[in-house]
Every structure is written in C-alpha cells, then in structure tokens.
C-alpha cells in the first residue's frame, strides 16, 4: 500500500467483470456524474469470455471518452482511477485492468482495485440511503445474502451452485428467447411470467440459509419439453426461484435482526422479486429499498464510488498488486470505510 | 390456553404456552403471503409432518430433541416440550476456549449420531441448538431435515454448520468447527469422517468464487 497525493475530487471507475464494459465517474461526495455502459451481445449462447474481452477492448476508448465528456471533465481533473479487480471472467477483468493501469500511469494518479460485489452493495447504499442493510445481491454471476459485521460483509446465505440470474438466462435461451440490446433475457422471462396462470410443480430446495438452483433449472427445462406452456413455466420458475431466495433472505433477516433490507444486482430490476422482498421486510419491521434500475446491472459508477470509499480509507493498489482476482469472495475483503458498531 | 410470543422466526412463530399443566412451545408455520398459496400450503404441510417424525427418529438415535405433544397439520402447528436452557448462539463467543471446545465436541457428537442413523438436520446453526441445565445439547428445528444415508446430504449438513459458524461466530469459527469434527469423528469413525470431509471440500468448490477451485484448474 503506497501513500498518494491528498484527495482531490473525482474518481473514474471501470467495470468489466462480465458482458458489460462500463465507465462511471463519482465525486468524493457521492455524486454520480456519469455512467456509460456498452454491453457485449453474443450472436448465440452465453458469454464467451474471450469474445467479451475483445468487445471491451474495442469499445473502451469510446466509452471512456463519452463518460468523461458527460461529466464535463478533462482527464487531467481525475484524481483516482478504480477498476473491478474481481470476481468475474478472467479475460474480461484483464481488459478493464489494462485500461485502468494505463490511465493511472498516464495521468499519474493512484489505482484502486475494487471488489465487484461490494460495488453492487455500496452503490445500493449510496442510492437508497440504506446504512446497515441486510443485502440480497442477485445477478447473473452471484446470489448471496450479506450483512456487515466486524470489518467485513459476511455472507449469511448463498447459492450452492448457479446464480439466480444465470438460471433465468439459461432457461430463456433454452426456450429460444433471444438476447437483445436493452432487453435482458431476465426481463423477457418476467414479461412471459406475467401471463402465466398455472403453477407447474418444480423443485424447491432451501438448505439452511443456502439454496440450490441448478435442479430447478433442469426441471423447468424438462417441463417445457414435456409441453407445458412457456408462460406457465416462466411463471412457475420465477415463483419457485424467488420464493426460495426470499425464504433464505427472511431467515437471514430473522437471524441478524437488521432493520433494513436492500435488493441489488441485475435481478433487482424484477418487479415480482421486489414485491416478495417488500413483504418479508414489512413483516420484520425492516425498511426495504431497491437499487435504481440504472445501477442494478453492472456499471462503472458503482466501481467509481467504491473506489472513492476505499481511497478515502487509505487503500490503493500498486500496479504490481493489480493482478485480477477471478474468485474473490466478498467475505475476504476488509471494508474499513463502513463505520458501524 | 394463553400463548406468549417467544420468537418470530423466519419460517415460524414460536409461542410459549401452558398445555395440560406443562410448559410448552407451539411452533406455528404461518402462511407466507409472498409465495403462491398453493406452493405455500405444500411447503408448510410437508414441513409440519416431517419435522416431528425426524425429531422422533433423532431421539431414537440418542440425540436430545423436545418431546412432541400435538401435531396439527391443518394449521401447520406443532406443540412440543419447552427446553429450559440457553441458545448455543448466545454462548459460543462468550465462554472460555476449553468450554467452547467441549461444547462444540458435544455438538459434533450429536450430529454424528444423526448421520449414523441416516438423519440429516438441514439447518445446523447455533440458533437451533439449546444447551440445557444438565449440559446436554438439544437440537431443534428439523423443518428442513430429511432422511438420507448419502454422503452428499451429510456433507451439505456439515458445510452449512461451518458456514453458519463463519458468518455468526467469525472470530472462533475454525476453532469451533475443528472441535465439532473431533466429536463427529468419535461417533462416525475416522474413515467415514475422511469421506465426509472430502465431500465437504467438493461441495465448497462447487460454490461461487471459491479460491481453492482455481488452484486445481
């Protein structure tokens, strides 16, 4: 850890853990001046890490320029550059890290490596005003229930296999739905689910505060192949998967007795999931908030803001320690900026 | 019968009441309005039927669990013995190291007995363990339990316990888990313990973003 020049005003954050390349700019006071994202859309199938990384390298220049212009800044006015150091897909992470290192060297400003999952939690807290929430972070790569305790975000519950968003995406692709810009596969499933009427019996697997989702995905695909209506299977898949994750969240809520619940990550955009979590929060007298849609999916602003928090706590990442961390669990990261008893 | 709310849990509310001159706990699984009613009813009934059965079988395996007095499937409620004691969750961090080791070994022994008899608890957290006045650990809340001889199910059971220790008792988690395994081994034998331990490693590697997995690939 090196000491840098005193804090100026702006942090630029780079997000490239999966299919999105995002650049955000945050002031040290928590104002988001810009958040620009360019997503990689595969022709078929899921994210091919190398193809996504190539996309990121191609759009980096354009996205950076646009974000800096939107914030009405000159590059020389930036004081810190933050990047998502992990967890995520190796090639994608490396393309973002390369851009960040280059910027840091060129502008001669400190580099801060940020944990992507903590970025989702911190942007949620910033945008909703939550102080000490129990957080459900659900996305294509992650599904976990976390809360702060003694210096770190602890994981109270998580998926034992695949992530919630991954389950919805893979199901959608198996059902022949197409990935389009501005319309994530999860949103397509949500729309179809709203037209579902019949609850098809599917597995419901809660193990303590953890859950297993892969069997549910397999069973949903099988139900579709057996001739159940697509709308009904979407409906049943959502109801089962969200009930499981809600039950797990409620268990963690009863256990931790937190007074706030925060929903963050890409799946946070789903209205049905929001409704379910709203119900359990009310049952336990906890205030429920959802990250705003534009900060739900992966974005650079969350990295910029978490970079600010880390930098202000004196955390910086020398270049020789800036290797990407493909598997970097939330509960391995110290968060000295969280000031709670 | 007047009932006083003891704890509003995630899954059920616990009431203390007087029943036929005995102090009892009534565990009521109230409807969860976030789930579709059909799914909710299925889950609540299933757990109400299975929990007392598993508790009964646990007793047969020599594991202390509360006595069951009444099971009302329609209302998803179970009336059971009130155990005088302290929740293990409230003890773990405050007692001395030697006492903690003894307590955790005792927990390991009880879990070992369950597994030897083909019972998986399904929710091994320190909230679900009560140390009674004679120093015995009672296991409660078998709602997520199942009958299984499988290594996978038993591995998950212990993995969840470790996970619960890490999130709630992070300062002493590994020390506690080590003692649990000692007690567990004393019951199931070293060979079975090695098998279960191997399974736990496999389960942990299946999880998201586990550092150990990277080293092998």
A329 touches chain B (CB under 8 A): yes
CA–CA dist A268, B77 (Å, integer): 34
The proportion of chain B whose per-residue pLDDT surpasses 70, expressed as a percent, equals 94
Asked if pLDDT for residue A2 goes beyond 50, the answer is no
How many CA atoms does the CB half-sphere of A36 hold within 13 Å? 19
- The distance of Cα A44 from the centroid of its chain, to the nearest Å, equals 23
Across the range A180-199, mean pLDDT stands at: 90
pLDDT number for residue A178: 83
Check pLDDT > 60 for residue A244.
yes
| Binary contact (B214, A279; C-beta < 8 A) | no
What pLDDT score was predicted for residue B216?
A: 39
CB contact under 8 A, B123 and A160: no
Distance from CA of B107 to the nearest CA of A (A): 17
pLDDT of A92: 96
Measured CA to CA, the distance from residue B56 to residue B68 in angstroms comes to 8
Question: Closest Cα partner for A239 from A204, A266, A212?
Answer: A204
A165, A204, A205, A327, best to mutate vs chain B, most B CBs in 10 Å: A327
| Contact of A81 with A107, CB cutoff 8 Å | yes
CA nearest neighbour of A95 among A80, A104, A84, A106:
A84
Structure tokens at B96: 């001395």
What's domain B85-216's architecture? Orthogonal Bundle (1.10)
Interface residues of B toward A, Cβ cutoff 8 Å, are 8-11, 32-36, 38-39, 43, 122-125, 127, 144, 156, 160, 163-164, 166-168, 170-171, 203, 206-211, 213-214
CATH code for B3-81? 3.30.200.20
User: Do the Cβ atoms of B202 and B155 come closer than 8 Å?
Assistant: yes
B41-67 b/e (C-beta count within 10 Å ≥ 16 → b)? eebbeebbebbbebbebbeebebbbbe
**Residue tagged 């992507």 (tokens):** A116
Name A112's bridge partners.
A82
SS3 A265: coil
The pLDDT of A327-340, averaged and rounded, is: 93
User: Which chain B residue shows the shortest CA-CA distance from A253?
Assistant: B10
Specify the range with the lowest mean pLDDT, choosing from A175-184, A243-252, B15-24: A175-184
Note whether A280 contacts B: Cβ–Cβ < 8 A: yes
Mean pLDDT for the stretch of residues A56-68: 96
pLDDT at residue A297 above 80?
yes
> Quick check: B35 and A280 CB within 8 A?
no
Q: For A293, which DSSP code?
A: G
Which of chain A's residues have a Cβ under 8 Å away from the Cβ of B213?
327
Of the candidates A143, A155, A284, the beta carbon closest to that of B167 is on A155
Q: Do B39 and A239 touch (CB under 8 A)?
A: yes
| pLDDT, position A1 | 43
A 15-54: CB under 8 A from B: none
Q: Any chain B CB within 8 A of the CB of A214?
A: no
Q: What is the pLDDT of residue B50?
A: 94
Report the pLDDT averaged over residues A184-213: 94
Inter-chain CB proximity A207 and B211 less than 8 Å: no
- Our CA-based measurement puts residue B171 at a distance from the nearest CA of chain A, in whole angstroms, of 10
Chain A closest CA to B211's CA: distance in Å?
A: 6
Contact state of A208 with B164 under an 8 Å Cβ cutoff: yes
pLDDT at A216 over 80: yes
Give the integer Cα–Cα distance in Å for A111 and A121.
21
Domain range summary for chain B, segments of one domain joined by +? 3-81, 85-216
What whole-number distance in Å separates Cα of residue A269 and Cα of residue A262?
Answer: 12
pLDDT above 80: residue A6: no
Q: Which of B10, B122, B171 sits opposite A253 (nearest CB)?
A: B10
Query: Taking CA atoms, what residue in A is nearest to B125?
Result: A208
In CATH, A10-120+296-332 is 3.30.420.40: yes
Q: What whole-number distance in Å separates Cα of residue A305 and Cα of residue B63? A: 51
Distance from A201 to chain B by nearest Cα, in Å?
Answer: 8
Beta carbons of B166 and A87 less than 8 Å apart: no
Residues 6+ apart with CB under 8 A from B141: B51, B123, B127, B128
Q: Do domains A10-120+296-332 and A131-293 have the same CATH topology?
A: yes
Per DSSP, what are the bridge partners of residue A159?
Answer: A211
CB-nearest partner of B33 from A149, A247, A279 = A279
Burial of A168 (0-12, 13-18, 19+ CB in 10 A): buried
- Rounded to 10 degrees, the C-alpha dihedral A157/A161/A163/A169 comes to -160
Query: Domain boundaries in chain A?
Result: 10-120+296-332, 131-293
Residue A241 · residue A220 · CB < 8 Å: no
Helix and strand element counts for chain B (H, E):
7, 10
Tell whether the model's pLDDT for residue A281 goes beyond 90: yes
Q: What angle do CA A269, A189, A143 make, to 5 degrees?
A: 50
User: Which of residues 79 through 138 in chain A touch B, CB cutoff 8 A?
Assistant: 86-87
Task: Report yes or no: A115 and A47 within 8 Å, Cβ to Cβ.
Answer: no
Query: In the CATH hierarchy, which fold is given to the domain comprising A131-293?
Result: Nucleotidyltransferase; domain 5 (3.30.420)
Size of interface A-B (CB pairs under 8 A): 108
Report, as ranges of residue numbers, the positions in chain B whose pLDDT lies below 50: 213-217
Q: Chain A residues with CB inside 8 Å of B211's CB?
A: 327, 329, 332
Query: What is the average per-residue pLDDT within A139-159?
Result: 93
Work out the minimum CA distance from A75 to partner chain B, whole angstroms: 34
**Quick one: which H or E segment has residue B58?**
helix B37-60
pLDDT score recorded for residue B215? 44
Find the CB nearest B170 among A150, A161, A254. A150
By the CB < 8 Å criterion, does A272 face chain B?
A: no
Sequence-ordered list of residues with C-beta below 8 angstroms from that of A58, at least 6 positions apart, any chain: none
- pLDDT tens per residue, range A26-60: 999 999 999 999 999 888 788 899 999 999 999 99
For the stretch A105-116, pLDDT in tens is 999 999 999 999
d(CA A265, CA A184): 13
- Whole-number Å distance between alpha carbons of B147 and B195: 19
| A339 vs A100, more confident | A100
- Per cent of chain A over pLDDT 90 is 89
- pLDDT of amino acid A45: 80
The pLDDT mean for chain A works out to 94
Would residue B123 show up in a list of annotated catalytic residues for this protein?
yes
- Active-site residue, selected from the candidate residues B72, B93, B99, B123: B123
- Cα A147 from Cα A135, distance rounded (Å): 6
pTM, to two decimals: 0.90
B200: nearest CA partner in chain A: A160
């Amino acid at each position: 850890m090196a000491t840098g020049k005193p804090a100026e005003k702006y942090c630029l954050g780079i997000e490239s853990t999966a299919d999105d390349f995002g650049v955000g700019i945050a002031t040290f006071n928590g104002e988001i001046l810009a958040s620009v994202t360019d997503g990689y859309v595969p022709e078929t199938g899921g994210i091919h890490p190398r193809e996504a990384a190539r996309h990121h390298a191609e759009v980096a220049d354009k996205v950076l320029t646009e974000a800096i212009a939107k914030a009405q800044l000159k590059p020389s006015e930036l004081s810190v550059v933050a990047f998502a150091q992990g967890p995520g897909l190796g090639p994608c992470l490396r393309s973002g890290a390369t851009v960040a290192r280059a910027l840091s060297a060129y502008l001669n400003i400190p580099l801060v490596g940020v944990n992507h999952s903590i970025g989702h939690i911190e942007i949620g807290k910033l945008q909703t005003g939550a102080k000490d929430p129990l957080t459900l972070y659900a996305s294509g790569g992650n599904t976990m229930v976390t809360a702060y305790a003694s210096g770190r975000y602890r994981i109270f519950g998580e998926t034992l296999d695949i992530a919630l968003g991954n389950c919805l995406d893979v199901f959608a692709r198996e059902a022949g739905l197409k990935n389009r810009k501005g319309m994530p596969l999860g949103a397509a499933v949500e729309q179809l689910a709203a037209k579902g009427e019949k609850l098809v019996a599917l597995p419901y697997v809660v193990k303590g505060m953890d859950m297993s989702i892969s069997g549910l995905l397999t069973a949903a695909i099988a139900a579709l192949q057996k001739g159940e209506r697509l709308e009904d299977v979407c409906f049943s898949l959502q109801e089962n998967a969200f009930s499981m994750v809600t039950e797990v969240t409620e268990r963690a809520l009863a256990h931790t007795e937190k007074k706030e619940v925060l929903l963050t990550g890409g799946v946070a955009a789903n209205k049905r999931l929001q409704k379910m979590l709203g119900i359990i929060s009310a049952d336990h007298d906890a205030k429920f908030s959802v990250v705003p849609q534009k900060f739900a999916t992966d974005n650079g602003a969350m990295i910029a803001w978490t970079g600010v928090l880390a930098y202000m706590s004196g955390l910086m990442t020398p270049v020789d320690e800036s290797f990407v961390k493909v598997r970097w669990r939330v509960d391995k990261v110290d968060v000295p900026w969280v000031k709670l008893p | 019968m007047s009932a006083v709310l003891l704890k509003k849990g995630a899954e059920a509310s616990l009431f203390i009441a007087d029943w036929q001159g005995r102090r009892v706990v009534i565990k009521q699984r109230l409807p969860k309005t976030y789930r579709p009613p059909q799914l909710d009813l299925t889950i609540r009934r299933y757990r109400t039927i299975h929990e007392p059965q598993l508790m009964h079988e646990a007793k047969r395996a020599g594991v202390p669990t509360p006595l069951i007095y009444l099971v009302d499937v329609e209302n998803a409620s179970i009336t059971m013995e009130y155990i005088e004691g302290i929740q293990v969750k409230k003890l773990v961090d405050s007692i001395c190291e030697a006492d903690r080791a003894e307590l955790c070994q005792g927990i390991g022994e009880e879990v070992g007995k369950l597994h030897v008899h083909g019972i998986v608890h399904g929710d091994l957290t320190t909230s679900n363990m009560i140390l009674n006045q004679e120093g015995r650990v009672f296991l409660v809340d078998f709602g997520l339990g199942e009958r299984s001889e499988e290594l996978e199910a038993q591995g998950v059971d212990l993995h969840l316990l470790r996970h619960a220790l890490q999130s709630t008792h992070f300062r002493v988690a590994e020390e506690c888990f080590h003692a649990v395994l000692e007690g567990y081994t004393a019951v199931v034998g070293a060979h079975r313990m090695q098998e279960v331990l191997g399974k736990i490693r496999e389960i942990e590697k299946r999880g998201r973003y586990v550092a150990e997995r990277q080293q092998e690939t």
